[in-house]
Structure 1
């Protein structure tokens, strides 16, 4: 099983240049801001996380998404 995991990690690095040519899906874009936003909303509620929500929106806009 660890052989399969190692092969998966190696193949991801080889596919990076090809992935850059394909447009990102909204679900996969801005993982850092998405993770922080989601964690904040779960822990503190949406009304207390406006700054993280806006940061994620800005990241998405920078990648060309219309939000």
Structure 2
């Protein structure tokens, strides 16, 4: 009745887990978990004063520098 020599179905497509690729070279952590001190200071400043504030801009740049130091490509 059926074809007993049919081919098995193809395997499902491989899904690339982007979060697994985005880990720091030095720490092996995801970007969201790196540099918690500069992240906390940056976030508090932006919430209080806004992103355009000069002090906040300085903290943003410090956080970016920290992330670059972990091996992330941050612009």
Calculate the TM-score normalised by the size of structure 2: 0.60
Between Structure 1 and Structure 2, how many residues are aligned? 47
Alignment match of 2:47 (pick from 23, 34, 42): 42
Calculate the TM-score normalised by the size of structure 1: 0.67
Q: Distance in 2 between matches of 1:43 and 1:65?
A: 27
Q: Distance in 1 between matches of 2:52 and 2:31?
A: 23
* Structure possessing the higher radius of gyration over alpha carbons: 2
For structure 2, which runs of at least 5 residues remain unmatched after alignment? 1-25
For structure 1, which runs of at least 5 residues remain unmatched after alignment? 1-20
As a proportion of its length, which structure holds more helix?
A: 1
